[in-house]
Structure 1
Amino acid sequence: MTLFDHEALRSQIAGRAGSVSANDIAPVLVARSLQGEESELTVDGAVSVRTGAFTGRSPKDKFIVRDNLTENTVWWDNSGAMSPAHFDTLLADAVAALGGHSVLRQDLLAGADPRHQYAVTVMTPSAWHALFIRNLLIRPGEMVEAGANPTQVTIVHAPHFRADPARHGSRTETVIALDMSRNIVVIAGTSYAGEIKKSVFSLFNFHAPRQGVLPMHCSANLGKDGEAALFFGLSGTGKTTLSNDPDRPLIGDDEHGWSEDGVFNLEGGCYAKTVKLSPSAEPEIFAATKRFGTVLENVVLEEDRTPDFDDISLTENTRAAYPIHVLPAIAKGSVGGTPKTVVFLTADAFGVLPPIARLTPEQAVYHFLSGYTAKVAGTERGVTEPQATFSACFGAPFMPLHPTVYGDMLAEKLRATGAATWLLNTGWTGGGHGVGKRIDIASTRRLLTAALDGSLDTVEMREDELFGFAVPLSVPGVETRLLTPRLTWTDAEAYDNQALHLAGLFRRNFEKFGTEANAEPGPRLAQAAE
């Protein structure tokens, strides 16, 4: 990694700025956002903001500087490349664009383990973005102390600056550019705050494996004996919901590292989806949205300024950003011991996968690399029937290295620890979306509890003929027929055809990993049906 004087860059920005305010606390940032007409308060005092044209990430506008460090390490099939010269020009122009503005500086930490920690400075002209990242990263001294020598990171956030593709090597006027050698990030042309959060995660995902740390896009909580459980899953699978359990202290809801000593949270806050949020289904998250200083992104307010979480007229990707300490049960220091249980969450809209299955270590790596869930009809324009979604490592857009790097590390961790791995399907049964019904949350919670407390360790299992994993024949409190999806369909032949179709999708997706990747733990068929 190239040594770089980050404080010189920060001083350069400060010298050009009209003013700089460092480390304002939440009430000050709320007041600034209101004075600047960036936000409005909800009836409960949360900060309601709109992110404009971008209501989600723009992965095609994300670039990594291609230099001696990244040339032969980054998986360029998954990442856009930017030349060092283009990046330097972009950085200089973004710094110049902040000139004359009031710039807000936040000095925060990423990484609850002081030995694997980043000192992240974000400089932005937007008060609500400063509040957002203050909520999301670790505020030094609150729960975690700064380490002796954290890795320095600077994020230049210029949401109103428009990149020039010819001048900056970008694709459009929007750009998220990461220099891995110097740990500098430039974000321009988008007000979606998740780009700030995920740029830190991307840096961590690049550097952590070289320190023997497995970076993970997952939530994590603790059992009564301090053992950790990990929850991997793409959006809509229940990762945040299921890991928020008042009886299991939360380590974190999204980004973690697994070192030789256990699990640690990269962040100090939560970024929860709020679409159709209700106090009965997700009481802890609902309560957090009523807290002063929580940032609500693209949530429509009623006339009395009450959030309407059922209104998705702006986007289905409505979000709440809040510090983790507002939750009732959190792990001390945002760390946990060696994981005892690993859970892969999927929402299978084809109605094929069982609600729970135990995976061998080899199957675990296969499903980790596959990262499967399914979009349902109506969630996106043009989606009229279930569509399989595969995102390697359950977070491909944030994984700069080849997925097999992370897969090999996971395999080593599972072999060394003996952690049990489960595939938990929160999707459909009795048929695909539009025919069957979604597996009820009460049954899912009973299945998860049984996996976490060891109740499933001794139950009789059947081996799935197609996918090869082990499926319990009975679980207390769960309808037995639910455990064998074929029995829940009225047309067994239709189930068989759908199962072959899904197996074929798995097989074809895995081909992108090349001949070196081991596909044997996948579906057992010579040629899956189209």
Structure 2
Amino acid sequence: MKTMNIPVHLEQLLSRTATKHDLSIAQLVERSLERGEGKLTSSGALSVETGAYTGRSPNDKFIVKERSVADRIDWGKVNQPIEKPVFTALYKKVLAHLHEKKELFASRGYAGADQSFRLPIHIINEFAWHQIFARQLFIRPDNSDQSLSKEPFTIVSAPSFKADPKVDGTHSEAFVIISFEERVILIGGTEYAGEMKKSIFSIMNYLLPVEEEVLTMHCSGNTSSTGEVALFFGLSGTGKTTLSASPDRLLIGDDEHAWSEDGIFNIEGGCYAKCVGLTEDKEPQIWNAIKFGTVLENVSVSDENGEPDYHNVSLTENTRAAYPLHYIPNALEPSVAGHPTTIIFLTADAFGVLPPISKLRPEQAMYHFLSGYTSKLAGTERGVTEPEATFSTCFGAPFLPLPAYHYAEMLGNLIKKHDVNVYLVNTGWSGGPYGTGQRIDLHYTRSMVSAALNGELIEIETIQDPIFGLDIPKQCPGVPDAVLQPRTTWENVNAYEEKAVELASKFKQNFAKFEGIAEDILQAGPK
């Protein structure tokens, strides 16, 4: 790799006496408190606020248009190009800015639990709490780890550096820029720590499929004690973390995985759980993971007793808890498992017309994977204040550098090869759309997921929905029969039909953008 002629090199930043290397979590928490970055809660977690940016800023994400990757990237609204000279100039300015700081924090880690495919990472942060986040979310190296001798990607995060769009070629003061040739992620103008995690995921979504022929997936995963693996696909807030953190199964990971010829492995070393409305009764594993070493983002905390108020959304609905995987008692370590037997696509249907659970035939699985229908939930992206119906290809479009069909074709082949059962589960609304209907009860969703994983739905008689063509089970243990059929939960059947046809039309309109799709997949959508 040819290194840019940068006045203040990364090596100089790393070699400064003001740069603190690989501090322990306790040391980083102490520095965070001394620097006024956050405060401790009653359970010992570090509570922080991220300022104006309480979620990802997708309009401010770029990939450098470099010769080695330009022909492969799916350029567009998600993967916005930025020219190399523009990036180089901004990179120099950010490094010079950081060089003037009295204190920086650096650490090492990697992405990919399978040692055959792991990517070394170096992280340079301006904030101590950002370094805690990175240490908890990425996989921590040990003395036996030889992969760190490979060329790493480096995250350079400078939240206090505000870009000038007219001069720096950005869209706002914030920017997240990936350079594959320089192996750098440049972040500035935003304090939202999730940008680090998602940028590494975007990189893995390029490197593994292209260089290793390994499928990367925006999903959570768990396994039974006897090795039956389940994957849960879905966008933020649809239940990946909640549903995969089951006390009777081993957690592989809550958000990012890859599927090789040997099986599944986690890309991360931690969990980044939404905690709006969190209760010990409904989500005990996440509740108990919020302790010393955990970072709580944008959660209201009492000044009197340090108690978090998870129902207070005055800062954002996108409140988060970042903690290492081993904070979940039944986490699988190393987080590597066999091939999945069940896949569940999670959707938060704001229209309130999709069934709580339905069985998908292989061609339907491909259709719904490519569609990626869900709702953006409040706070998960900048400017989203209430659920918005959206289609996110492969349930992870914001993080996919390659064309969507590349991932879909890989998944379809793996589903067929390993004879995987696939279900579509609606964790959104029932009895009416958002604002009228009710969010589907989590206890019912858990019962449906459990029945799917245990094979209890395979032999149960189904009813085919006349609009969406989905096979809906007539019964499910622990769930009232009426809950399973969405039209029976609406007071006005005509209103249901109208909304269902409206959503079906949106499916058709969205799918029209795909070219060269096999006829059996095209026919697997709404009628």
What TM-score bracket applies, with the shorter chain setting the length?
over 0.9
Residue identity over aligned pairs, in percent, reads: 47
For 1:47, give the aligned amino acid: L
Q: For 1:483 and 1:11, how far apart are their aligned partners in 2?
A: 59
User: Which residue does 2:525 correspond to in 1?
Assistant: 523
**Pair 1:295 & 2:295 matched:** yes
Are residue 273 (structure 1) and residue 274 (structure 2) matched? yes
Segments of structure 1 that go 5 or more residues without pairing to the other structure are 526-530
Contact 1:136/1:197 (<8 A) preserved:
yes
1:113-136 Cα offsets, whole Å, 9 max, x none, are 111111100011211111110011
Letter in 2 for 1:155: I
How far apart, CA to CA, are the structure 2 residues paired with 1:312 and 1:514? 42
Determine the structure 1 residue equivalent to 2:70.
Answer: 71
Alpha-carbon distance between aligned partners in 2 of 1:433 and 1:311, rounded to the nearest angstrom: 20
Give the SS at the match of 2:178: strand
CA distance in 1, matches of 2:384, 2:171: 26
Query: Are the structure 2 counterparts of residues 25 and 67 from structure 1 closer, same or farther at C-alpha, using a change threshold of 3 Å?
Result: same
State the partner residue of 2:34.
35
Query: 1:63, 1:80 within 8 Å by CA — same for their partners in 2?
Result: yes
Task: Report whether the alignment pairs 1:336 with 2:337.
Answer: yes
How far apart, CA to CA, are the structure 2 residues paired with 1:425 and 1:449? 14
Give 1:137 deviation, angstroms.
0.6
Contact 2:55 2:380 in 1 (8 A): no
CA distance in 1 between partners of 2:219 and 2:468 (Å): 24
Shift of 1:372: 1.2
Judged with a 3 Å threshold, the aligned counterparts in structure 2 of structure 1 residues 379 and 201 are, in CA distance, closer, same or farther, namely closer
Q: Contact conserved, 2:236 with 2:380, CA < 8 A, in 1?
A: no
Letter in 1 for 2:60: D
Q: Does structure 1 residue 82 correspond to structure 2 residue 55?
A: no
Task: Tell me how far apart the structure 1 counterparts of residues 435 and 139 of structure 2 sit (CA, whole Å).
Answer: 43
Change (3 A) 1:162 1:18: farther
Question: CA offsets, 1:337-388, max 9 Å, x none?
Answer: 1011100011222221111111112111111111112358999999999742
Runs of 4+ that moved beyond 6 A: 376-386
Structure 1 position 259, deviation (Å): 0.7
Secondary structure at 1:456 match in 2? coil
Instruction: Give a deviation string over 1:183-225, Cα, whole Å, max 9, x none.
Output: 2111011111001111111110111112111111111001132
* C-alpha deviation, 1:335, in angstroms: 1.0
1:528 alignment partner in structure 2? none
Q: Post-superposition shift, 1:153?
A: 0.8
Structure 2 counterpart of 1:274, which letter?
C
Query: In structure 2, how many angstroms separate the alpha carbons of the residues matched to 1:130 and 1:479?
Result: 47
- 1:237 deviates by 1.7
Residue in 2 aligned with 1:472?
473
Paired AA for residue 61 in structure 1:
D
Residues 415-459 of structure 1: CA distance to partner in whole angstroms, max 9, x if unpaired? Answer: 111111100112222332343333222221111111101111112
Question: Which one is further off, 118-127 or 462-471?
Answer: 462-471
Could you say what secondary structure the match of 2:309 adopts?
Answer: coil
Structure 2 CA distance, aligned partners of 1:26 and 1:80?
A: 35
Change (3 A) 1:100 1:320: same
Given the superposition, is the C-alpha separation of residues 379 and 209 from structure 1 closer, same or farther in structure 2, using an over 3 Å criterion?
closer
Correspondence for 1:13: 13
Residue by residue over 1:104-161, the C-alpha shift from the partner in whole angstroms, topping out at 9 and shown as x without a partner, is 111011110111111100011211111110011111139x945486451111111111
Check conservation: 2:237, 2:377, Cα contact below 8 A. Answer: no
Distance in 2 of aligned mates of 1:381 and 1:50: 15
Change beyond 3 A, Cα 1:397–1:376: closer
The separation in 1 between residues aligned to 2:485 and 2:137, in whole angstroms, is: 41
Aligned to 2:58: 59
Paired residue type of 1:300: S
Number of residues of Structure 1 aligned to a counterpart in Structure 2: 520
1:159-189 per-residue CA deviation (whole Å, 9 max, x = no partner) reads 1112233443222221111012232111011
The whole-number CA distance in structure 1 between the counterparts of 2:124 and 2:404 is 32
Residues 3 and 138 (structure 1 numbering): CA distance in 2 closer, same or farther, change over 3 Å? farther
Inter-partner Cα distance in structure 2 for 1:383 and 1:54: 12
Unmatched 5+ stretches in structure 2: none
Give 3-state SS (helix, strand or coil) of 1:457's partner: coil
Give the alignment's TM-score, normalised by structure 1.
Answer: 0.93
- Matched position secondary structure for 2:359: strand
> What amino acid is the match of 1:106?
S
Change (3 A) 1:21 1:308: same
* Pair 1:420-2:441 in alignment: no
Amino acid at match of 2:20: S
Verify the 8 A CA contact 2:58 2:381 in the aligned structure 1: no
Residues 140 and 146, structure 1, Cα contact 8 Å, conserved in 2: no
Q: Which piece of structure 1 moves more, 394-403 or 455-464?
A: 455-464
CA contact (8 A) 2:14 2:106 kept: no
Q: Which residue does the alignment assign to 1:403?
A: 404
Q: 1 CA distance for matches of 2:385 and 2:171? A: 30
Whether 1:503 aligns to 2:504 is: yes
Instruction: Please state whether the residue corresponding to 1:112 is helix, strand or coil.
Output: coil
How far apart are the structure 2 equivalents of 1:35 and 1:193? 20
> In 1, Cα distance between the equivalents of 2:299 and 2:459?
46
SS where residue 512 of structure 1 aligns?
coil
In the aligned structure 2, how far is the partner of 1:55 from the partner of 1:376? 13
1:174 maps to which residue? 174
> How does the TM-score come out when normalised to structure 2?
0.93
Which one-letter code corresponds to 2:182 in the other structure? R
Matched, 1:487 2:488: yes
Query: After the TM superposition, which of the residue ranges 435-444 and 226-235 deviates more from structure 2?
Result: 435-444
| Deviating more after overlay: 419-428 vs 372-381 | 372-381
RMSD: 2.4
